[in-house]
Amino acid sequence: MALSQDEVLAGLAEIVNEETDIDTAEVTLEKSFTDDLDIDSLSMMTIVTLAEEKFDVRIPDEKVKDLVTVGDAVSFITDAQA
């Protein structure tokens, strides 16, 4: 069954925390991965890969540049699960 937006956000926040030590509470929908969370391109690929495994979705490499905010990623994952 597809997860809710809140469940995807919570799961994504755990992955971000695992990769970067950023507190899960900091990982909110409006935050930009690059500008707000200071996540570089390689850490982003790690987060994407772990998210693919966790949520059983495929996130093409060429799509990653469009995932600017945490909300973009949550929407992509939620839609991909639907």
Interface residues with other proteins (CB under 8 A) are: 40-42, 44-46, 48-49, 61, 64
CA distance 18 to 4: 21
Among 4, 3, 9, 7, which Cα is nearest to 71's?
9
Q: Please, which residue, 12 or 47, has the CB nearer to other proteins?
A: 47
Least distance (Å) from other proteins to the CB of residue 4?
27
Least distance (Å) from other proteins to the CB of residue 40?
7
Least distance (Å) from other proteins to the CB of residue 73?
15
